[in-house]
Amino acid sequence: MKSLRIGNVEVLPLLDTALLMNPRQFLPEHADQFLAEYGHEADSRGLLPMAVTCFLLRSAGKTLLVDTGLGGRRRPGFPQGRLDQSLAEAGVDPADVETVLNTHLHIDHVGWNTVEDEAGKSRVFFPKARFVIQQREWEHWMRPQFLDEPGNAHLVQCVVPLEREGRVDLVSGEQPVDEHITFIATPGHTPGHVAIGVASAGERAVIIGDASHHPVQLAHPDWSPAFDSDPVQSAQTRDRLFEMAIAEERIWIAGHWAHPGVGRIVRLEGKRFFQAR
Ligand SMILES: [Zn+2]
């Protein structure tokens, strides 16, 4: 997809990888109803399209990247990301990225923060970038007992090296990033999860992080997947963000919805719908 403009901010969706989602694993309690509503989009195995999309922003003379996908490491159970190729195809050198915003610290949002050299040593993939991370998120995930768990190896590989190199800026809550970009507190998926708000020259957008994983949640905001750390809070946050997007006419930019995940949330006859761009 080509870039889109939000006032004076350019947003470029960059695919890390397409994903196929099995509703019976994703939302086992609601899978039958899910497939009744979205079966027309499923493949012959009943799998639905999702994505891991990252977003390059050009704002106020700087280049920023929102989330860094799954990364280039081979990991059992995960596809290998190809954000490096998507950046190259867009003519972006990793050294061009000055700021990385990680919406949260899950494995599919910090992957390309670092890459491994031949000796298996991690190095920061964006040699000049600073990484802006929410304090609340940091305090939750970067506890020593968490870092020791095998399921959190991605934190050791993709986040600890940033700290070692002094590249991390911790911020709290709804801080502005620049004159057009601000964090929007959207807790529930993880404790310190944030969306990224863009407002410039009368136009607005919201890059939602993992506040929603699929448009089925427009009608069922309470359908929280098991990996939401607080499913009640994430449902409230999701509903509030849908309503904010409608009320403020924000372009909706969703990294896990089918690529590129860009459009508008509208209400027609009392129901919310996604109009893909
Ligand atoms: Zn995610």
Q: What pLDDT shows up at residue 22?
A: 96
Which tens digits make up the pLDDT trace of 234-265?
999 999 999 999 999 999 999 999 999 999 99
State the distance from the centre of ligand 1 to the C-alpha of 109, rounded, in angstroms.
Answer: 6
CATH code of the domain containing 149: 3.60.15.10
Q: How far is the CA of 68 from the centre of ligand 1 (A)?
A: 10
How far are the Cα atoms of 74, 118, 121, 196, 221 from residue 103, in angstroms, in the given order?
A: 23, 29, 25, 8, 20
Structure letter (DSSP) for residue 8: T
Task: For the chain, report the end-to-end CA distance as a whole number of angstroms.
Answer: 10
Q: Tell me the CA–centroid distance for residue 181 and ligand 1, in Å.
A: 21
Within its chain, how far is the Cα of 194 from the centroid? 9
Report CA(69)–ligand 1 centroid distance (Å): 8
* 3-class secondary-structure state, position 26: helix
CA of 222 to the centre of ligand 1 (A): 18
Cα of 140 from ligand 1 centre, angstroms: 17
pLDDT digits (tens, 9 = 90+) for 132-157: 999 999 999 999 998 999 889 999 99
Please write the tens of the pLDDT for every residue from 196-238: 999 999 999 999 999 999 999 999 999 999 999 999 999 999 9
Rounded Cα distance, 78 and 42, in Å = 20
Question: How many angstroms separate the alpha carbon of residue 269 from the centre of ligand 1?
Answer: 31
User: Containing domain of residue 233, as a range?
Assistant: 4-276
Asked if the model's pLDDT at residue 1 lies above 60, the reply is: no
Q: At CA 126, angle to CA 92 and CA 108, rounded to 5? A: 95
Q: How far from chain centre, in Å, is Cα 5?
A: 19
Torsion sign across C-alpha atoms 157, 163, 167, 172:
positive
Using a CB cutoff of 5 Å, list residues around ligand 1, an ion: 108, 210
Q: What is the pLDDT of residue 203?
A: 98
CA of 272 to the centre of ligand 1 (A): 23
Residue 5 has what pLDDT?
Answer: 98
- CA of 108 from ligand 1 middle (Å) equals 5
d(CA 53, ligand 1 centre) in Å? 9
The total number of structural domains that make up the chain: 1
**Cis upstream peptide for 150 (omega within 30°):** no
Mean pLDDT of the chain: 97
> What's the predicted TM-score (pTM) here?
0.97
Q: Please provide the DSSP assignment of 85-136 as one string.
A: HHHHHTT--GGG--EEE-SS-STTTSGGGEEE-TTS-EEESSTT-EEEEEHH
